[in-house]
Structure 1
Amino acid sequence: MDSSGERLSTRRVPTLRIKEQTPPARLAANKTILVADTGEGFVETSQLLGGFGFSVLCPEDCSDPASCTVAFVNPDLDGGLDLCKSLSADCKVFLTTNNRDFEFKIEAVRMGAQGLLSRPLNAVEVFSSLEETRKDELPDARVLIVDDDDLTATVYAMALEECGLRVAVLNNPLHAETAIDEFRPDLLIMDIEMPEANGLDVARAIRLDPAHTSLPILFLSAVMKKGLQQKAREIGGDDFIRKPVDIGYLVKMVRMRAARSVELRQIMVRDGLTGLINHVSFKEKLATEINRSARTKAPFSVALIDLDHFKSINDTYGHQTGDKVLQTFATLLKSSLRNVDIIGRYGGEEFGVILLDANPDQAATTMDRIRREFERVNFTHANKRFHVTFSCGLAGSDDGGNCEMLLALADTALYEAKARGRNRITRFDSSLKRRSGQEQAGISC
């Protein structure tokens, strides 16, 4: 219940809070990859994939293509794309080629290809393609149903949950704005005829806040007056569905609208280089988790991470290589943490992670595992091999304070990790004191 006693039922609350600390990977849980390719970039990419726990097989060594996450096929080795066609029945296939002729693309999609990767193979693009295999799951897509008929709304919610959406139900439309701010839906399903307030008026009121201007709204009504539909369109209604609703049609429309909303949201809040959420979005999510933890008493930890001596990497190997290091590290974080954990590029070579339902001890164990994995990754430039490490500072929600204070505590621990020699995880505790500006200035990046 909210402060007024009104019901805001969030369906499947456990999907918003996952208790277990052994995470499902962000990338596909199945880590077998089929590769029908040779040549430049293949060895390096295979080494990185192996370092991240993937098993790379060639077609003749794979007895069950359906067990693979994805297949990479060089069309020069697959005349007629017959292998592509046969594999596409069991897993997603990406062609590794520089051929961008449109007729070739037409043939590729006819034979089941779902993407093209340039040659020589780039490890970052390969990892991005692995993440693409999860798009159909609509990660974090949320739908808020506003309907005074609780039974009807519950039926809608159950059907939408079956296709992997997260759903909340609100029976009093007068509390819609509060519910939106709390639940942050990607799509709003609004009944029009409600005793507390007309759905069109509620939608207009929601649109008065610039933050909600782009929130998709799908209206439901048993009244099919042409003027009513026109009014719904004028205030930015994305669709108008007649009651009683065909559940199959509703699910199809909601999935499509939610997928588009998620994609637009991710474009707006993502860092262009790494694909992680940006600095502003990270802090907004941290503030949300602080408020949620205050209500539920569920712990979380914040990690601030800095790649060690990153300036020297740019100076020695060039900024393109530096960008590759940043992208690879971002990919490692995404593949090593749970879907519920929040990862952002905090700025430059600094990253932030919010580990939900994890106290600092659990978070330290997780981040140290990632630290050990990352220092084993081989980077190459002009046939020279090098390794990169990172330092990490941790603070827990129980350390108290608002968003800025919690980040300051994690930052204090990060500087302590650097002062102790880098390549380590340091937790904040009461014995740590913020170093003076002169001492911090002496710790170079």
Structure 2
Amino acid sequence: MPQSPTREVQKKLETLRNRFRDKTIREIEGLVASIFNASRNSETIGELVAAYQLLHRLAGSAGTLGFTLLGEQARKLEIAIKPLADQVADGADSESIRLELKQLLSAGYEDDIAGLGNLLVTAEPVSTEWHQPRLAETDNQPVLLILEPDQELAELVSEGLALYGHRLRSLSNGHEWPEGMDDVDLVMVRDTLLQDEGVQWLSRLHDLPVICFSQAPDFATRYRLACLGIDACCDDPQDIPALADRIEQLLAEGLATLTGRVMILDDDRELLEHYRLVLTSGGLQVRALGDPSNLLSELSEFRPDILLMDVQMGLYDGPALARMVRFQAEWLSLPIIFFSSEEDRNRQLDALARGGDDFVTKPVSDEFLLRTVRMRCYRARQLDKLVSLDSLTGLLKHALAKTELGREYARSARSGHNSVVAMLDLDHFKKVNDAYGHGAGDMVIKALANLLRHRLRNTDIIGRYGGEEFMVVLPECSLEKAVEVLEALSQDFARLAFNVGTEEFSVSLSAGVATLNAYGSAEQAIEAADRALYQRKRAGRNGVSVDSRSLL
């Protein structure tokens, strides 16, 4: 019988802990011998520096790997020996340092040093409470649950949101949470069903994004809903585009907090592997480096959201490495987080002043590590979106969309697969702005952006080309399939109803399509899709046209 993912992670952590114990036993034997030798012979006083460095490393790593008492004792000894190690590094008189060391040992530290190895006999049990394995995604369509007593309204909302590719489930009351609802991604609930705070299913909402349907605008009601963990409040669920936009935001936020790309730089092999295992098991993509000399090349290849690094790695100084990374303009905004057992706030601030963004003190629990990294990755991507994504739609900006198109053009040319580019434009959009205002126009643009995100594949490239015009790239897609998808999308978008006050209106779109392979460059393919778009406009709008050369 195959092991559960959690049990498999636990076994790997136990193996890693045993490896750390075996290595550290040998290291501590050498450390004890070095310190006692230095106390007896001034010629070996230089060994204090290596002893201090090992104690510093154990103070940070032992607790994370389950040997808390060893980490605490190593920290105590590190603080005591540091002044002597600094004197050695500064070239002070060896004999005077030896005498100070001898006095230190006689003051009670001799037994502490000799007993370090005994603290490796037992370790805390490996805990994997932080590990919540994510099931493999078999369907990209989110599942939404509507708890709405008004059955007619529930059906109207379900039909409208289905156009965006969501799968809907509906309940008329919230007295019981039915079986088979474990795949729900978001809940929409009427506020009257939340009046009884003793209902058993209320706790189920804490792990899901929740939108509450409520027409009560008063402060007390809204505050109570916030205390219940509600994420958003909607007073008009019949405004489907606005509701879909809020759903999109909440689902994107939830997914973003679970993912990310992390690079870790640390010369402690067991600790580095421990971090990698915990973060990878938590759903993050991780690149672990033990050799700082490979840092720049690995950054360019992996392109992480954040960089974690130790402050001191043998001959390499973490803050100096951070400053070196900042030499390249593309990494000026990369969040760099120092992990170290250094507890002196002034030294921490000094490290941050030399290129870091945050400082986390070792040892670090697995749960704290995972939560910290997830949060940091999420914040990093939010800031990146301000630069690379259109603020209104969340789609790629014009320049980046063209860059991605160029990459797909080169990829399709190398592999020979078919790919398609399409230009989309909202019909009579100026009339929408003139009749209902620019706020209504923005609502229409956002609605189309959301529809494109939900109806197209994760691998498809979607960008706002300018104003009400969009560009879509469909990699590894036949011309026939692209036309079929875009025709269906065009028809469903025209069915959406937009509300401004008491007035309701709809908008259609036109699309022009071209195959990348039929043209000599990505730019020529865009021009061909643009020609097809204007053919569609002249032919009556509201549909899809294909450039003639793509049909050959």
TM-score with structure 2 setting the length? 0.61
Which of 55, 62, 84 is residue 168 of structure 2 equivalent to? 55
Contact 2:461 2:472 in 1 (8 A): yes
Identity %: 32
Q: Deviations over 1:215-236 (max 9, x none)?
A: 1112245777777634321134
The residue correspondences of 1:426-445 to structure 2 (distance < 5 A) are 426-427=545-546, 430=549
1:279-337 superposed Cα distances (whole Å, 9 cap, x missing partner): 24434544565677788888754332112332344345554443332222112112212
Counterpart position of 2:195: 80
Looking at structure 2, the residues matched to 33 and 371 of structure 1 have their Cα atoms a distance apart, in angstroms, of: 27
Distance of 1:268 and 1:310 partners within structure 2: 27
Secondary structure, aligned partner of 1:109: helix
Change (3 A) 1:127 1:385: closer
Aligned match of 1:89 in 204, 208, 226? Answer: 204
Q: Secondary structure at the match of 1:124?
A: helix
SS at match of 2:226: helix
Task: Pick closer, same or farther for the CA change 1:356–1:60 going to 2, 3 Å.
Answer: same
Contact 2:510–2:536 (CA<8 Å) still a contact in 1? no
Deviates more, 1:177-186 or 1:305-314: 177-186
SS of aligned partner of 1:272 = coil
Tell me what 1:377 maps to.
Answer: 496
Q: Distance in 1 between matches of 2:314 and 2:479?
A: 48
Partner Cα distance (2:429, 2:338) in 1: 51
Counterpart of 2:142 (choices 22, 29, 38) is: 29
**Does the C-alpha gap of structure 1 residues 226 and 275 become closer, same or farther in structure 2, counting only changes over 3 Å?**
closer
SS where residue 372 of structure 1 aligns? Answer: helix
> Structure 1 residue 136: deviation in Å?
2.6
Kept in 2: contact 1:69–1:130 (CA 8 A)? no
Paired residue for 1:135? 253
The runs of 5 or more residues in structure 2 that have no matched partner are: 1-136
CA contact (8 A) 1:35 1:71 kept: no
Structure 1 residue ranges without an equivalent (≥5): 1-21, 434-445
Match of 1:16 in 2: none
Pick one of 70, 78, 81 that aligns with 2:186: 70
1:118-170 C-alpha deviation (Å, 9 max, x unpaired):
44753233213322034232276222234567775454333222222223345
How far apart in 1 are the matches of 2:196 and 2:245? 23
Correspondence for 1:333:
452
Deviation at 1:409, TM superposition (A): 4.3
Match status 1:391 vs 2:511: yes
Give the whole-Å Cα distance in 2 for the aligned partners of 1:301 and 1:197. 49
**Structure 1 counterpart of 2:338:** 219
Q: Is the 8 A contact 2:409 2:516 kept in 1?
A: no
In structure 2, the partner of 1:187 is 306
Query: Secondary structure of the equivalent of 1:161?
Result: helix
Paired AA for residue 93 in structure 1:
V
Larger fraction in helix:
2
Tell me, yes or no, if the aligned pair for 1:141 and 1:166 is still in contact at 8 Å.
yes
Aligned to 2:61: none
CA distance in 1, matches of 2:278, 2:416: 31
Letter in 2 for 1:393: V
CA distance in structure 1 between the partners assigned to 2:232 and 2:461 by the alignment: 27
Structure 1 residues 175 and 303: alpha-carbon distance in aligned structure 2, compared to 1, 3 A threshold: farther
CA distance in 1, matches of 2:365, 2:324: 28
More strand by share: 1
Report the structure number with the largest CA radius of gyration.
2
AA of the residue aligned to 1:51? L
Aligned partners of 2:481, 2:143: CA distance in 1, in Å?
Answer: 25
Would the aligned equivalents of 1:301 and 1:363 in 2 still touch at CA under 8 Å? yes
C-alpha change, 1:333 and 1:114, in structure 2 (3 Å) is same
Question: Number of aligned pairs?
Answer: 407
